[in-house]
A and B are shown apart, each in its own frame.
Chain A
Amino acid sequence: MSAARRATTSVAGPLWNVVKLDLRLQWRYGFYYAAGFSLVLWEVVVLLIPEGIRQVAMPYVIFGDSVIIGFFFIAGAVFFEKGERTLFALLSTPVRFRHYLAGKLATLSLLSLVAAVVLAPHALTSPGDGLATIAVKSVTLVVAVLLCTLLFLLCGMITAAPFPSMTDWMIPSTMVIAALNVPLLSYSGLIDHPAFYLLPTQGSLLLLGSVFDQVSLSGWQVAYAVSCPLVWIAGLVVLARRVFDRYIVAKEGSA
C-alpha cells in the first residue's frame, strides 16, 4: 500500500510541478495573450464566412491553425531552456524526461483544444441534429484535435532538437508543417490514393470532416482514424526520447 502510494506520488508529484511551471512560464512568455489575440481574429474570420460554407471551411481552419499553435511554442521553449540551461537544472531534480514531455504536451495541447472549442460551435450543428448527435460530434472534435495537436507538438520538438538555434530550425520547420499538411490533398479530393492512409494526420482530418458533416465515416474508418495517429504518437514519443538523449543530454555531458 505504502509502496504503491510512493509510486504514484513519485510519478504524479513531479508531473504536477512541471505542469504548474509550464503554465507559469507560458503565461510569462505571453503565449496566452498571443493565442487569445489570434483566436479573436479567427473568430471574426469565421463569422465573416457565409453560413452555407462555414461547415466546409471549419476543418481547414482547425487543421490549418488551431492545432498548430503549440508547434512553434514547444520548439521555442526547448531552445530557450537549452540555451539558459534550465533544462539541465530541471533534469537533475526528480523530474524525468517523461514528466518534462508530458507537461509540455498537456499544457500546449490544452491551448489548441480551447481554440478549437471556441471556434467550432459556429458550425458544429446541422439542422435536425439531436442532442446525442451533438454529443458525439463534440467528443469526436476533442479526440481529433488532441490527436492532431500531439502529432504537431511531437514533430516540433523532435525536429527542433538537432538544431543549434531556433533561427536554424525556422525554415526546416515550415517543411515539417508542409509534410503534416499533405493529407489535405486527399481530404479535399484533389488527389486520392490509399497511401495517404499511412500518413499521421490523415485520420484526424477525417474525424474533423465528420464533425462538420463533410464526410461520413464507416466503422473501420473511425477505428483507423483513432488508432493510426495513436500508433504514430507512440512511435514519436519513443523517438523524442532518443533524440533528446542524443542531442540534448549527451551534448550537455560533453560541454
Chain B
Amino acid sequence: MSVMNAIAGFGRNDLRSVRRDSIMIGVALGPFLYAAAMWFLPPLTTFLDRQYAFDLTPYHILIVSGFVVIGPVAVLGALCGLMLLDDKDQHTLAALRVAPIPPLTYPLYRAAMITAVTTVSITAALALTRLLPAELVLASIPIAFVCGLGAAVVGLLMPAVANNKVEGLAVMRATGIALFGLPLVPWWLDSPAQLLFGLLPTYWPAKAFWLAADHQTYWPYIVGGIAYCGLVGYLLLRRLARTAER
C-alpha cells in the first residue's frame, strides 16, 4: 500500500512539474517530429528515382525502423537518464532512503514511466508516418513496448555509469550511435552471427519490426527483447539502488 502511495506521489509531483516545464510538450510533440521526418520519404524516393534511377522503396522499412522505431529509444532513454541524474545531483535518491518504501521503488517508477511513454510515442509515430498498413501498426505495439524497455535500460545506464549530467552527456554521445546505428547493420547480414548484435537493446525491436513488415514470425524477438532488457534493467536498478546509499 505504501508503495502504491509513493508511486502516486511521484506521479502527482511529475504532473505538477510537467505543467511548469516544457518537457511534456516535447514528449507530446515527439511522435509528430519522428513521423514528420518520414513524410519526406515519398518525395525523396521519387527524387532518387528520377535523379539517379535508384529505387529506395525496398529500404523504406529499414529507414522507418531506424528513425521511428529505435531512434526514439536513444532520445527518450537519454531523457530518462538525465532525469535520474538530476535526482542523483539533488540527492533525491539518498533522501528517499529514509522514506518507508523499498529503495528500488523510485528508479523503478522512472523506468516504468519511460517504458510507457516510449511505447505510446512510438506507436503513435508509426501510425502518423502514413507509410504503414494498419495491421503492421497494430503488430508493432509489442515492438514499441520492447523499445520502451530499451529506453528504460538506456535511462538506467546513464546514472549507473555517470556521476553527473555532464558525464551523462558523454555516455549519451558514446552510446548514441551504438544504439541508433549499429542495430541496423544486421539488415544486410544473413547469418546466425547477427544475434551478437542482441547485446544492443535496440537490436531486438528493429529485427522484430523487419520480420513483422515481412509477415514473418517475430514473437521470438519480442520475447528475447523483453528477457534481455528485463535482465539488464534489473541489474542496473540494483546497482543504482546500491550507489544511492553512498
CA distance A31 to B171 in the complex (A): 9
**A42-B177, A167-B86, A189-B51 in contact; A30/B167 too (CB < 8 A)?**
yes
Chain A residues numbered 183-229 whose CB sits less than 8 Å from any CB in chain B: 185, 188-190
**A190-B40, A190-B44 in contact; A167/B174 too (CB < 8 A)?**
no
Q: Tell me if B133 counts as interface (CB < 8 A to partner A).
A: no
CA distance A35 to B171 in the complex (A): 10
Q: Tell me if B166 counts as interface (CB < 8 A to partner A).
A: yes
Chain B residues numbered 24-81 whose CB sits less than 8 Å from any CB in chain A: 25-27, 29-30, 33, 40, 43-44, 47, 51, 75, 78-79
Q: Tell me if A171 counts as interface (CB < 8 A to partner B).
A: yes
Residue of B26, B43, B78, B176 with most partner-chain A CB within 10 A: B26
Contact B29 A41 (CB under 8 A): no
**A166-B165, A178-B33, A189-B51 in contact; A171/B170 too (CB < 8 A)?**
no
Query: How many interface residues does chain B have, given as a range?
Result: 35 or more
Q: Tell me if B172 counts as interface (CB < 8 A to partner A).
A: yes
CB distance from A120 to the nearest CB of B (A): 18
- Which residues of chain A come closer than 8 Å to B82, judged between CB atoms? 166-167, 170
Contact A33 B51 (CB under 8 A): no
Residue in contact with B22 in the complex, picked from A31, A42, A168, A188, CB distance below 8 Å: A168
CB distance from A90 to the nearest CB of B (A): 15
CB distance from B243 to the nearest CB of A (A): 17
Contact A41 B173 (CB under 8 A): no
**A165-B86, A171-B22, A171-B27 in contact; A38/B79 too (CB < 8 A)?**
no
Q: Tell me if B178 counts as interface (CB < 8 A to partner A).
A: yes
Interface SS of chain B: helix, strand, loop or mixed? Answer: helix
- Which residues of chain B come closer than 8 Å to A33, judged between CB atoms? 170, 174
CB distance from B73 to the nearest CB of A (A): 14
Q: Tell me if A79 counts as interface (CB < 8 A to partner B).
A: yes
- Which residues of chain B come closer than 8 Å to A13, judged between CB atoms? none
CA distance A195 to B116 in the complex (A): 41
Contact A77 B166 (CB under 8 A): yes
CA distance A166 to B82 in the complex (A): 8
| Chain A residue nearest to B28 in the complex (CB) | A171
CA distance A167 to B40 in the complex (A): 29
Contact B79 A170 (CB under 8 A): yes
- Which residues of chain B come closer than 8 Å to A34, judged between CB atoms? 169-174
- Which residues of chain A come closer than 8 Å to B26, judged between CB atoms? 170-172, 174
Residue of B170, B174, B177, B178 with most partner-chain A CB within 10 A: B170
Residue of B26, B89, B166, B167 with most partner-chain A CB within 10 A: B166
Q: Tell me if A45 counts as interface (CB < 8 A to partner B).
A: yes
Chain B residues numbered 122-161 whose CB sits less than 8 Å from any CB in chain A: none
CA distance A232 to B33 in the complex (A): 26
CB distance from B174 to the nearest CB of A (A): 4
CA distance A31 to B40 in the complex (A): 34
CA distance A66 to B197 in the complex (A): 25
Residue in contact with B79 in the complex, picked from A31, A41, A76, A171, CB distance below 8 Å: A171
- Interface 0/1 of A38-75, CB less than 8 Å to B: 10011001000000000000000000010001001100
Residue of A76, A79, A167, A170 with most partner-chain B CB within 10 A: A167
CA distance A190 to B46 in the complex (A): 10
**A45-B181, A168-B22, A190-B43 in contact; A80/B30 too (CB < 8 A)?**
no
Q: Which residues of A are interface residues toward B (Cβ below 8 A)?
A: 29-31, 33-35, 37-38, 41-42, 45, 65, 69, 72-73, 76-77, 79-80, 83, 163-168, 170-172, 174-175, 178, 185, 188-190
21 contacts between A and B (CB under 8 A): A29-B167, A29-B169, A30-B162, A30-B167, A30-B171, A41-B177, A73-B170, A79-B165, A80-B165, A166-B86, A167-B21, A167-B23, A167-B79, A167-B83, A171-B22, A171-B27, A171-B30, A172-B26, A175-B33, A190-B40, A190-B44
**Interface contacts beyond A38-B177, A171-B25, A189-B51: sample of 20 additional A-B pairs, CB < 8 Å, sorted by A:** A29-B169, A31-B173, A34-B170, A34-B174, A41-B182, A42-B177, A45-B177, A65-B177, A69-B173, A76-B169, A83-B89, A170-B26, A170-B78, A170-B79, A171-B23, A171-B29, A171-B79, A174-B26, A174-B33, A178-B33
Q: Which residues of B are interface residues toward A (Cβ below 8 A)?
A: 21-23, 25-27, 29-30, 33, 40, 43-44, 47, 51, 75, 78-79, 82-83, 86, 89, 162, 164-174, 176-178, 181-182
